[in-house]
Amino acid sequence: MRNRALPAVTNRTIPGRSPHRIAVLSVHTSPLEQPGTGDAGGMNVYIAETATRMARRGVPVEIFTRATSSEQPPVAELAPGVLVRHITAGPFEGLGKNDLPGQLCAFTAGVLRAEARHEPGHYGAIHSHYWLSGQVGWLARDRWGVPLVHTAHTLARVKNTALAEGDQPEPMVRVIGEDQVVAEADRLVANTDTEVRQLVELCGADPLRTVAIPPGVDLERFRPGSGAVARARLGIARDAVVLVFVGRIQPLKAPDVLLRAAAEMLRRDPELRRRLVVVVAGGPSGSGLTEPTALQELAAHLGISDVVRFLPPQGGAELAQLYRAADVVAVPSHNESFGLVALEAQACGTPVVAADVGGLPVAVADGRSGLLVPGHGAEQWASALAAVALDPGRRAALSAGAVDHARDFSWDRTTDALLATYADAGREHRVRLRGAVMAGMIER
């Protein structure tokens, strides 16, 4: 039974009920992991935040992810109503993301066996995240007879057109795998209208089955607070000029752009060295794992080691304090499907200077909550950062705009939209199944 053999659906909003339980698939990274290192990032936050809010609405969620340690329990509770199931698929350690296609059969078997312990219909819908999970979801969808909703988060074809210097292109196995999932999913959830266009134009997605649902931000955790208190806790002088990068340390995220821009700012104004503090919070990831000290070496090469501080990945209250301590948060990524860091920083009242790529023009309101930079050159980034960090009046105006802009996004809105999408996909899935039975395409 394959959807492509059945009649096409429309994009009409069809009333329906939310499914009673969601199976969320996240093969390569667990929402229990700390974002900012390895493969843990915005996707982890997305899954954890939306799953928690679904459970609060009375829709339980079970998240399937690959076990990466023998010490992990088979099942862990993320939040009331949200379970994380660790599936054994390959060795616990030593496998990178590019090694995981060879373990999809084992992972799928673990998912299907978990469902087989329950009565039929235990899960009402599947939501897969990233293409590896989509491959598993495609098979589970056919086995369980429930709709598959898929979120790509990033696309190989898009990443390969915006590679950082020295970065490796995404392999063809991923390109093909993404196309297969795009063709099979009952719904594709994109972060922005730009990503919808990319799915349609580059991957052949059906626009009638593709919907844009922006991610959100935890407006309780990330909110304005005292910058002076935040700086005191971090040991940063009140009059310092503070530039912050938060994220995984890899070429794609381009933390090197911030360091080169900081060096250019010091070249233009040597007196700034007394006050400038550049904070990089995160851990090596992706191709950055092969050179884990490359950023420290770059700082030394640029002669700015004295103004750069490296911190491990920050979470919870510590991350909010770091945002509040900053004059500017820099998001210089070469590609970004949305940019949760930008949204979190703005919710704390901190302007963002971001690359004008991917979903960042949605996450950042150019000229109102921050600035977008059309490129990655050190000179243009130095000018943009200085225009905000060194101009108190402009920074104050952007800070107010940042808080207002962030209020337009919330995980509650994202969750409501996802539940509506599951309901619509479920209704249309049942209609197609009934049609297929009547046409004799599948057995009753």
Annotated binding site for 1D-myo-inositol 3-phosphate: 28, 39-44, 97, 130, 154, 174
- Distance, CA of 84 to CA of 97 (rounded, Å): 20
Contacts (Cβ under 8 Å, ≥6 apart) of 52: 78, 79, 82
Q: Which residue(s) pair with 393 in the sheet?
A: none
Fill in the DSSP letter of residue 16.
Answer: -
Q: Which residue(s) pair with 353 in the sheet?
A: 330, 371
222 phi, psi to nearest 5 deg? -100, 100
Name the binding residues for UDP-N-acetyl-alpha-D-glucosamine. Answer: 34-35, 42, 248, 253, 314, 336, 344
- Distance, CA of 190 to CA of 239 (rounded, Å): 41
Whether the CB-CB separation of 123 and 23 falls below 8 Å is answered with yes
218 phi, psi to nearest 5 deg? -80, 100
- Across 187-269, the runs of DSSP E, i.e. the strands, are 187-190, 210-212, 241-246
Name the binding residues. Answer: 28, 34-35, 39-44, 97, 130, 154, 174, 248, 253, 314, 323-324, 326, 336, 344, 350
Query: Which run of H or E residues covers position 299?
Result: helix 294-302
Whether the CB-CB separation of 189 and 43 falls below 8 Å is answered with no
Name the binding residues for Mg(2+). Answer: 323-324, 326, 350
Residue 196: count of CB within 10 angstroms of its CB = 18
